Amino acid sequence: MVEPKLRSRSFKRKHVVTPGNRNVLHYWRRNPSPLKCRLCKVVLKGIPRVRSNALRQLAKSKKTVARPYGGNLCSKCTRFLLKQKAREL
Ligand SMILES: [Zn+2]
């Protein structure tokens, strides 16, 4: 029996045949769901879909989009929001 934490279905699993011809199960954590725009729920581009420990190894520029609301809103919604804010002034 494997250790209790590996029985959880939050782990992905795959049958692997080793070079010594043994059948073993390999386990790994699933990738998180992709980030979505806060307004229109479209999947954001330029934001990697990896776990936080993998994010730590990336440069800041590879984790986010360098524009106002980058990583929160898509480009269309950002454009719309900025226009609205300019018209309010
Ligand atoms: Zn949007």
List, as one string, the DSSP characters of the chain: ---GGGGSTTEEEEEEE-TTS-EEEEEEEPPPPPPB-TTT-PBPSS-----HHHHTTS-GGGTS-SSTTTTTS-HHHHHHHHHHHHHH-
CB 36 within 8 A of CB 47: no
Q: Ligand 1 centroid vs 40 CA: distance in angstroms?
A: 4
Q: Which residues pair with 16 in a beta bridge?
A: 24
Q: What is the pTM of this model?
A: 0.70
Q: Ligand 1 centroid vs 44 CA: distance in angstroms?
A: 8
Q: What is the pLDDT of residues 42-77, one digit of tens each?
A: 999 999 999 999 999 999 999 999 999 999 999 999
Q: Ligand 1 centroid vs 54 CA: distance in angstroms?
A: 26
The pLDDT assigned to 89 comes to: 81
Domains in the chain: boundaries: 1-30, 35-89
Q: Ligand 1 centroid vs 38 CA: distance in angstroms?
A: 7
